[in-house]
A and B are shown apart, each in its own frame.
Chain A
């Protein structure tokens, strides 16, 4: 048994110590947010926060997480009461198939917890580890900008510099 602290709650997980966190979250804890995309740390569909930093849950063995705090999109509110980022993604209709979106939201959450006033270039660089195949990127950026404002900050527009 390995103890995992997920969204503030300790859970006993009966799985091999080398099991990546992703499978424990999805199959043992029944959390849907983190998705299997590549298992290689290349696409970000599995992104969660570990001790407030974005991490690829497909690469982290659960044995390494006993003392660490894991957060998933399920901690950012509910359908009825969504948090700032989920609400902003909904307001901007920032999804097509949506498979990548939970990972996008968690990566953006890490940024906005660090600063609610990033520059556009920082925002784009920060989001670069996460892939989207539908081409919803422009809406994802709009949603993060909207959430930054809702959180009392705002993304500083240096779009020209960003290029």
Chain B
């Protein structure tokens, strides 16, 4: 494209932005195009992803968000590697409804697969265009042009900066498929580039939405009962409005927020409004354990998989087991927070939501605004591990800000509000049955019961405030997430080579308590059950747990991950389990399409206290091409420690009126004094293979390896989480 055209396009900047962010489906060209990699297929225009200013400044756009998983660093690495510039030469813009492509939610370990792949291929396209522009300018063959350090270099020593080259062409063009990656030069992908966000986080810099301070900003608190399903009794709103510093008490139907000049003043006003007591207007909660309660509710059968095969021989050995987990909490350390500014009949919300676009749609409906009057800008918060209070608090802040146009409002939930109102990870039950013949699995049945695993807001009815306004917005109807990703049935289809095998998801629509996506969704439970069951089958077959797994595994990469973890751990040379010491192993490929992960663990169980001490954990992971191996290790280490906390320490408690796990004393999680002695993670790099999502791959294998090690140590199987000391003690006594 000529420079003239480029300038003309630059002169219509706003138009270009609007168009480059339009989806392919809305594009004007009807002809069928080849499929493009990752989310480049949805947004094929190069300038949706990469722009280069005349001064050489490079901006890269992603619709995904930094959640503490190291996304920013990995995407900078991908872009800088392919564009042959130092990482500092890339400015990365993350999820912002005014600037970045709509890549949905940052969830499901999809960011590198969807956005990383898109940016990699967009960058390869841009590199080719820059090379061609330089070759054209110098009248040399493209093979003679070398790109590095933000400039093209000619054989005669001439060089041209990317800015000059970019001014000669337009990036407002569709990506071409199958553009080869850069072959020569220094590589950034595969190196441990330090995280770009850590320096601010360890020196007290501004790093989170919680740290935002806008001029004239008010502090707000939302006013709610102690937990989801409860309602505060009427309070003396006028008296609260007269409290020191209180600017306004915002009331809209059942929604209430207090705004004050100082944060502590808002908190005191909140406490005053909460002091009148509360009740539960709706149906009481079930008195029994939530997993038993939901098991009794009507369910809809959703097939997971059905691999027919010869029926199991009649003299085969049938093994059955039932596993379960309670409701679990995301438990972000920082309660959810948002900053909102209402001006010009619209609102801007700085939010740590995982999905700025779905949030914008939900907020627009809630606030009865056109979508283009709502802007959601992702700003980091405390880690979320799934759908926590992030979206709800964004709505709370927007409603509060609507009452004070022109003044920014910062609204953070209290600890008890996060514990009491966040959507939980659903309770689950899995029943497994298998037939063994000649030491092999000859039949397999998997049945899983669970509520929905995503109720993320797609409408105003998906937000807490949506149910509080008058009239309330209709609640979203939960639906099962289809395979191959799956929700409650995620990883309900073992990767093992099985025939005569079938899985069924019993989807329970009715939710006694609010639930939604928690890191790895159903995979934590399904992998726990399958991998515990594999050990039970190995035992019934008189086989070593690892050998039994390998005998049923055809996938070469899965075998290598298992063998690597086993070798690094010293599995073959381990002592005989029993007498309180045990060794456990587990494996899964997340969703059967993302990262492979195997975990080996050694535990010591105190028979008197029931306390489990974890002596050593060794994991191996294959994430395809490892963009940042240390980032992968960090994710898997974290997944292991978090999953051990879920599996040993955690269960949300209820009485019939409310959720009683209101803080860290009522919902304890792992502390430093209960950590494993060591955790090692080995990354198997697969250069030039597709990126495989990693963030959630460790949850299931860590949980099952623990339970298998405990069973090995005490010769008794505990199938219901959590493996808390009281339960271990009770099982040992029985």
Contacts and interface: CB of A to CB of B under 8 A. Distances in A.
Nearest to B68: A97
Contact of A93 (B205, B613, B634): B634
Contact of A159 (B414, B645, B664, B677): B677
B639 A135 contact: yes
Nearest to A99: B382
Interface in A20-73: 20, 23, 26-27, 30-33, 35-40, 42-43, 45, 72-73
Contacts of B645: 135
Contact of A98 (B68, B412, B414): B68
Give the interface centre of B203, B211, B332, B679 by most chain A CB atoms within 10 Å: B203
Interface in B166-222: 192, 194-195, 197-208, 210-211, 213, 219
A37 B334 CA distance: 5
B55 interface: no
B334 A99 contact: yes
B693 to A, nearest CB: 16
B641 interface: yes
B203 A86 contact: yes
Contact of B204 (A73, A100, A129, A130): A73
A77 B203 contact: yes
A131 B673 CA distance: 11
Contact of A90 (B199, B211, B669, B679): B199
A132 B663 CA distance: 15
A101 B210 contact: no
Interface in A122-140: 124-125, 127-140
Nearest to A125: B673
A136 B677 contact: no
Contact of B331 (A26, A72, A133): A133
A86 to B, nearest CB: 4
A150 interface: no
A115 interface: no
Nearest to B217: A27
User: Which of B202, B380, B383 has the most chain A CB within a 10 Å cutoff?
Assistant: B202
B672 A137 contact: yes
B2 interface: no
Is the contact region of chain B dominated by helix, strand, or loop, or is it mixed? loop
B664 A38 contact: yes
B380 A97 contact: yes
A95 interface: yes
A40 B664 contact: yes
Contacts of A73: 202-204
B264 A16 contact: yes
Contacts of B70: 96
B202 A86 contact: yes
Given A27-B263, A133-B383, A97 B198 contact: no
A93 B263 contact: no
B642 A43 contact: no
A134 B68 contact: yes
By DSSP majority rule, is chain A's interface helix, strand, loop, or mixed? loop
Size bin of chain B's contact surface: 35 or more
Interface string B328-345: 001111110000000000
B638 A136 contact: yes
A31 B204 contact: yes
Contacts of B640: 135
B262 A15 contact: yes
A23 B264 contact: yes
Contacts of A127: 672
A30 B199 CA distance: 18
A19 interface: yes
Q: Name, among B380, B615, B638, B642, the residue most crowded by chain A CB atoms within 10 Å (CB to CB).
A: B638
B198 A33 contact: no
Given A98-B198, A99-B382, A128 B672 contact: yes
Contacts of B414: 39
Given A138-B637, A139-B634, A97 B383 contact: yes
Contacts of B67: 97
A32 B267 CA distance: 19
Contact of A133 (B197, B412, B669, B673): B669
A162 B675 CA distance: 10
B552 to A, nearest CB: 30
A45 B637 contact: no
Given A20-B264, A95-B201, A99-B334, A162 B677 contact: yes
A60 to B, nearest CB: 13
B28 interface: no
A78 interface: yes
A35 B201 CA distance: 11
Nearest to B265: A16
A82 interface: yes
Nearest to A78: B203
Nearest to A38: B415
B200 A79 contact: yes
8 contacts: A18-B264, A37-B333, A37-B415, A38-B664, A89-B202, A90-B199, A124-B672, A134-B68
Given A99-B333, A159-B678, 15 more contacts: A40-B663, A42-B665, A74-B203, A90-B194, A90-B198, A97-B67, A99-B210, A99-B383, A125-B673, A128-B672, A132-B333, A133-B669, A135-B639, A138-B641, A138-B678
